[in-house]
Amino acid sequence: MRCSRVQADISASMDGARGALSGAALEHASTCARCIAFANGARALRTAVRVQAAPDVPDLVAGIMARVGREEAVVALPPVRRRRTSIDVRTVVAAGVVGLLVGAGLVWGGLVPRTGETASAESVPRHIQAAAAGVASYQASYRVEERDFSAASPVRSFKVHVAFSSAEQFRVDVSEDSADPVADPIASTLIVDGSKWSLAGPRACIAAVTSPCPESASRIARVVTDRPPFDGDTPMPTDIILPLSAMSAAGTVTALGPRTIDGHEAVGVSLPAGAAAPLFAFFQQAGSWRSLYPGDEVQLWLDARTWFPLGYSVTATAGSQRAAWAARNGYDGERAGDLLYEVTLASLQTFAPPQGIFTAAGNGSFDTSSQGFRDIPVADLAARLGTAVVQPSDLEGLRPYRSGAFEGSNEVVVSYARGLSWLKIREAPSGNPGVEPFGLAGPVQPIALPGGGGTAYFAPAGGGFASRISVHSTNVDLLLESTLSRDQLMKVVASLPIRGLQASAAPGAGQVSAAQLAARAGFTPILPPASWGGGPAVSSQVQTFDRQSSVHVIFAPTSGASIELYESRGLTVPPATGADQVVVSLDGMLARWTPDTSTLEWVDAGIYISLSAPGRSINEVAAMAMQMGGYR
Amino acid sequence: MQEPDPRIVERARSGDPAAFEELVRAHQGDAWRFARSLTRDEHLADDVTQDAFVRAFRFLPSFRGESRFTSWLFAIVRNCANDALRSRSRSQSHSEESEPRGSSAPDHELRVAIDQAIGALAPELREPFLLVEVFGMPYADASVVLRVKTGTVKSRVHRARQQLMAELSDHDEEARDEM
CA distance A402 to chain B (A): 9
Rg, Å, chain A Cα set: 29
Closest by CA to A6, choosing from A16, B27, A33, is: A33
What's the pLDDT at A285?
85
What's the pLDDT at A587?
66
| A58:B32 CB<8 A | yes
Residue bearing the bigger pLDDT, A545 or A128: A128
* ipTM for this model: 0.84
* Phi-psi label, residue A605: left if phi above 0, alpha if psi -120 to 50, beta otherwise: left
Cβ neighbours of B15 in A, within 8 Å: 72
What's the pLDDT at A539?
67
The Cα–Cα gap between A272 and A290 comes to 16
Classify strands A254-261 and A219-225 as parallel, antiparallel or unpaired. unpaired
Measure CA A452 to chain center: 33
Task: Please give the single-letter amino acid code of residue A444.
Answer: V
* Mean pLDDT, rounded, of chain A: 77
Residues A288-297 have pLDDT tens digits of 888 888 889 9
**What's the average model confidence in pLDDT over B104-116?**
68
Share of chain A above pLDDT 70, in %: 78
Cβ neighbours of B33 in A, within 8 Å: 54-55, 57
**What's the average model confidence in pLDDT over A480-495?**
90
Q: With 50 as the cut, is the pLDDT of residue B102 above it?
A: no
Range name among A11-15, A29-33, B44-48 with the lowest pLDDT average? A29-33
* Mean pLDDT, rounded, of chain B: 82
The Cα–Cα gap between B53 and A65 comes to 9
pLDDT band at A184 (very low <50, low <70, confident <90, very high): low
Residue bearing the bigger pLDDT, B69 or A463: B69
The Cα–Cα gap between A315 and A338 comes to 5
Classify strands A219-225 and A367-370 as parallel, antiparallel or unpaired. parallel
Output the pTM of the full model: 0.56
Give the 3-state DSSP-derived string for A193-257, with helices as H, strands as E and coil as C.
ECCEEEEEEECCCCCCCCCCCCCCCCEEEEEEECCCCCCCCCCCCHHHHCCHHHHHHHCCCEEEE
Alpha-carbon distance values, B71 to A245, B37, B139 (Å): 43, 16, 11
Q: Do A162 and A140 touch, CB atoms closer than 8 A?
A: yes
pLDDT band at A632 (very low <50, low <70, confident <90, very high): very low
Backbone angles phi, psi at A261, to 5 degrees: -115, 110
Residue bearing the bigger pLDDT, A510 or A489: A489
Give the 3-state DSSP-derived string for chain B, with helices as H, strands as E and coil as C.
CCCCCHHHHHHHHCCCHHHHHHHHHHHHHHHHHHHHHHHCCHHHHHHHHHHHHHHHHHHHHHCCCCCCHHHHHHHHHHHHHHHHHHHHHHHCCCCCCCCCCCCCCCCHHHHHHHHHHHHHCCHHHHHHHHHHHHCCCCHHHHHHHHCCCHHHHHHHHHHHHHHHHHHHHHHHHHHHHHC
Range name among A7-21, A609-623, B100-114 with the lowest pLDDT average? B100-114
Q: With 50 as the cut, is the pLDDT of residue A191 above it?
A: yes
Alpha-carbon distance values, B110 to A179, A544, A630, B116 (Å): 72, 61, 77, 10
Please tell me which of the candidates A46, A54, A67 has its beta carbon nearest to residue B50.
A67
Beta bridge pairs of residue A140? A162, A348
pLDDT band at A109 (very low <50, low <70, confident <90, very high): very low
pLDDT band at A446 (very low <50, low <70, confident <90, very high): confident
The Cα–Cα gap between A267 and A123 comes to 11
Residues B39-66 have pLDDT tens digits of 888 888 988 999 899 888 888 877 878 7
Q: With 90 as the cut, is the pLDDT of residue A395 above it?
A: yes
Beta bridge pairs of residue A566? A552, A610
Is B57 within 8 Å of chain A by CB? Answer: yes
pLDDT band at B158 (very low <50, low <70, confident <90, very high): very high
Residue bearing the bigger pLDDT, A208 or A367: A367
Is B161 within 8 Å of chain A by CB? Answer: yes
Residue bearing the bigger pLDDT, B105 or A602: A602
Residues of B (62-81) whose Cβ lies below 8 Å from A: 62
The Cα–Cα gap between A628 and A602 comes to 12
Is B110 within 8 Å of chain A by CB? Answer: yes
Q: With 90 as the cut, is the pLDDT of residue A580 above it?
A: no
The Cα–Cα gap between B142 and B132 comes to 7
Residues of B (5-24) whose Cβ lies below 8 Å from A: 15, 17, 20-21, 24
Q: Which three-class secondary structure state does DSSP give residue A30?
A: helix
CA distance B16 to chain A (A): 10
| B58:A7 CB<8 A | no
Range among A258-267, A306-315, A545-554, A592-601 rated most confident = A306-315
Cβ neighbours of B46 in A, within 8 Å: 58, 60, 63
**What's the average model confidence in pLDDT over A550-578?**
77
Best B53, B55, B107 residue to mutate vs chain A (most A CBs within 10 Å): B53
What's the pLDDT at A620?
85
Residues B4-17 have pLDDT tens digits of 988 899 888 887 88
Alpha-carbon distance values, B46 to A236, A407, A556, B175 (Å): 27, 36, 42, 33
What's the pLDDT at A76?
41
| A45:B164 CB<8 A | yes
Backbone angles phi, psi at B106, to 5 degrees: -60, -30
**What's the average model confidence in pLDDT over A202-208?**
63
Residue bearing the bigger pLDDT, A350 or A272: A272
Type and span of the H or E element at A425: strand A421-429
The Cα–Cα gap between A328 and A208 comes to 9
Q: What proportions of chain A, in percent to the nearest 5, are helix, strand and coil?
A: 20, 35, 45
What's the pLDDT at A588?
65
Is B158 within 8 Å of chain A by CB? Answer: yes
The Cα–Cα gap between B65 and B48 comes to 23
pLDDT band at A183 (very low <50, low <70, confident <90, very high): low
CA distance B122 to chain A (A): 18
Residues A82-91: contacts with CB under 8 Å, at least 24 apart: A83/A107, A83/A109, A86/A157, A86/A177, A87/A143, A87/A346, A88/A159, A89/A143, A89/A346, A89/A347, A90/A141, A90/A346, A90/A347, A91/A347
| B54:A99 CB<8 A | no
Alpha-carbon distance values, A235 to A172, A279, A293, A461, A579 (Å): 10, 12, 21, 17, 15
Residues A137-176 have pLDDT tens digits of 888 899 999 998 877 778 899 999 999 988 899 999 999 8
pLDDT band at A433 (very low <50, low <70, confident <90, very high): very low
Is B100 within 8 Å of chain A by CB? Answer: yes
Alpha-carbon distance values, B113 to B99, B119, B168, B174, B176 (Å): 13, 10, 7, 11, 14
Please tell me which of the candidates A8, A71, A97 has its beta carbon nearest to residue B54.
A71
Nearest CA in chain A to B35: A57
Furthest CA-CA distance within chain A: 109
Q: With 80 as the cut, is the pLDDT of residue A515 above it?
A: no
